[in-house]
């Protein structure tokens, strides 16, 4: 008998209807993995590793879906955030707990320390705390883009990392960002920038409310950082560590 097939959960924060989610799931199926899809019923961007659900009394609704191009792959629309989905999967909510969690393909880059706020990365970090290996995948789609993003490019770069990911120690997390173009090379290992080329800024609406706006930052991005390398057209991969104690702080 051969080795058992890798069990992969595919999730995201853009929602169950995202073409990036379907593309990533198809890539995992083509790689020979046993795939289950579970993603938010609605968009859940910016939710980090939040465990919020939309149900009453602690109940979280789950609806089976049939996704185009993924016949035979179980798919679930979940009334909850991606972090909650990753936690539930680890406890058997969608079948056997996954060996690997793939989160994405996100519409837009997730670079720098702001990955703390990303639901895409939050799902991967939550999966790691529960023993899975995880890969967050994002495509650097620009805000003004009108044509269809190159989802297949992101999946091709990600798929080249699948075997390496599966061989990493339990709890490992990789954050992959891919430029939005027809072809991309091998990802470069990168550090986290302090901030990315696009940064969230709070703006006062003047009526007691505020809004968070995306602002393009001016100036040089740090050399060797994920934000800089991605801006130069290179795919980047960064190994992340989830919440842990800081031995350097003495109390």
Q: Which of 80, 100, 82 is nearest to 36 (CA)?
A: 100
In a domain, 1, yes or no: no
- For residue 164, is it within any domain? yes
| Count of alpha carbons within 13 angstroms of residue 95, beta-carbon side | 14
Tokens 């990753």 belong to 86
What pLDDT score was predicted for residue 205?
A: 64
Q: What whole-number distance in Å separates Cα of residue 210 and Cα of residue 148?
A: 31
Q: Give domain status of residue 250, yes or no.
A: no
Domain assignment of residue 150, yes or no: yes
Q: Per the domain annotation, does 95 fall within a domain?
A: yes
Say if CB 140 and CB 188 are below 8 A apart.
Answer: no
DSSP class of residue 189 equals: E
CB atoms within 10 A of CB 232: 11
- Residue 2 domain flag: no
Beta strands in 68-209 (DSSP E): 75-78, 100-107, 133-140, 173-179, 188-189, 198-204
- 223 found inside a domain: yes
* Domains held by the chain: number: 1
Q: What is the pLDDT of residue 48?
A: 86
Contact 112, 226 (CB under 8 A): yes
Enumerate residues 6+ apart whose C-beta is below 8 A from 106: 12, 13, 14, 20, 118, 120, 136, 137, 138, 139
Taking the C-alpha atoms of residue 129 and residue 85, their distance in angstroms, rounded to an integer, is 13
Q: What pLDDT shows up at residue 215?
A: 43
Q: Which residues of the chain have pLDDT under 50?
A: 198, 214-216
Boundaries of domain holding 23 = 7-240
Q: What is the CATH number of the domain that holds 233?
A: 3.40.1210.10
* 246 within domain boundaries: no
Q: How do residues 81-97 score in pLDDT, each as one tens digit?
A: 999 999 999 999 999 99
């Amino acid at each position: 008998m051969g080795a058992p097939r890798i069990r992969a959960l595919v999730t995201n924060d853009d929602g169950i209807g995202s073409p990036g989610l379907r593309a990533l799931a198809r890539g995992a199926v083509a790689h020979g993995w046993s795939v289950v899809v579970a993603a938010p019923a609605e968009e859940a961007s910016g939710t980090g590793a939040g465990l919020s659900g939309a149900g009453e009394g602690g109940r979280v609704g789950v609806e089976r879906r049939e996704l185009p191009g993924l016949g035979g792959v179980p798919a679930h629309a979940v009334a909850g955030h991606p972090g909650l989905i990753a936690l539930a999967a680890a406890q058997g909510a969608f079948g056997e707990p996954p060996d690997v969690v793939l989160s994405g393909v996100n519409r837009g880059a997730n670079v720098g320390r702001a990955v703390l706020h990303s639901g895409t990365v939050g799902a991967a970090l939550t999966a790691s705390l529960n023993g899975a290996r995880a890969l967050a995948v994002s495509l650097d789609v620009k805000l003004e883009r009108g044509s269809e993003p190159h989802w297949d490019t992101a999946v091709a770069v990600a798929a080249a990392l699948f075997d390496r990911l599966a061989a990493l120690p339990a709890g490992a997390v990789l954050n992959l960002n891919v430029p939005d173009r027809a072809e991309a090379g091998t990802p470069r290992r990168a550090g986290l920038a302090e901030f990315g080329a696009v940064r969230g800024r709070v703006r006062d609406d003047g009526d007691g409310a505020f809004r968070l706006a995306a602002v393009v930052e001016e100036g040089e991005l740090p050399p060797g950082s994920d934000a800089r390398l991605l801006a130069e057209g290179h795919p980047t991969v960064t190994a992340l560590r989830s919440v842990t104690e800081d031995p350097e702080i003495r109390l």
